[in-house]
Structure 1
């Protein structure tokens, strides 16, 4: 799972199924801003709060879409190269309390191909 997409791998009857959920979370780079009149003060004052708030709402929508695609589960492992997995974990704990898996954890992992992810999940649940 990362900021761009979540790949959901389910295991049933010895096989694995892969689903992809795309994200609408925007990448933004702060630009310019207004300068200050104070000598030695910051040259640019950028108002990030509106961007951060918009990003927070986009993450919440993304996580809701991912949760809709996850079948009823008892164990869940969230893995990926970025911090998105940890944010998703916190979202489940705080806002989706009805989801009570027996075991849920977050693992950091490098970028992988689809086949590598499927093998990783298969090995994880052995």
Structure 2
């Protein structure tokens, strides 16, 4: 049984695959552009026009980049039997929504979506094993 744990945020996704007592860790970078638009600039003349920041352009670009990022992750986990998703803020929920809309067969395999803070690689592996009820001494429990 192929069990997959994913920890993701807007920077990267760490994927642990547990299969037949073996574990494999993969990292997928998001390639998201982080926009930091500055406020509008004032004209040199008094009461002159101001430059307007177009937030909608930045948000639309981010939305498309997130979609591509989530597609890469879904492609990587397409053959999973069980999936648990972890991450900070709203990243896990956004990924779950993307799975529901575009990959319903994968969304049905998701057992847990949980908000967790940053952690080391070993902590993440332990969390994934614990979330599936596995122990290092007995690789294929459940």
- TM over 0.5: same fold? yes
Alpha-carbon deviation of 1:15? 2.6
Matched length: 120
Distance in structure 2 (CA, Å) of the matches to 1:56 and 1:103: 23
Question: Distance in 2 between the 1:70 and 1:7 partners?
Answer: 12
Runs of 4 or more, structure 1, over 4 Å off, are: none
**Equivalence for 1:31:** 38
Q: CA-atom RMSD, angstroms? A: 2.0
Alignment partner, residue 4 of structure 1: 11
**Alignment TM-score, normalising by the size of structure 1:** 0.84
Task: Give the SS at the match of 1:98.
Answer: helix
Deviation sequence 1:49-86 (CA, Å, 0-9, x none): 01000000000000111111114123211101232111
CA shift for structure 1 position 33: 2.4
* SS in structure 1 of the partner of residue 113 of structure 2: strand
Out of 116, 122, 129, the position equivalent to 1:115 is 122
* Higher CA-based Rg: 2
Question: How far apart are residue 44 of structure 1 and its match?
Answer: 7.3
Q: What CA distance in whole angstroms lies between the structure 2 residues aligned with 1:14 and 1:75?
A: 15
Q: State the Cα deviation string for residues 78-104 of structure 1 (Å, max 9, x = none).
A: 101232111111000011123353443
TM-score (norm 2): 0.75
Preserved contact between residue 79 and residue 109 of structure 1 (Cα < 8 Å): yes
The residue number in structure 1 matching 2:56 is 49
Distance 2:106 2:120 in 1: 28
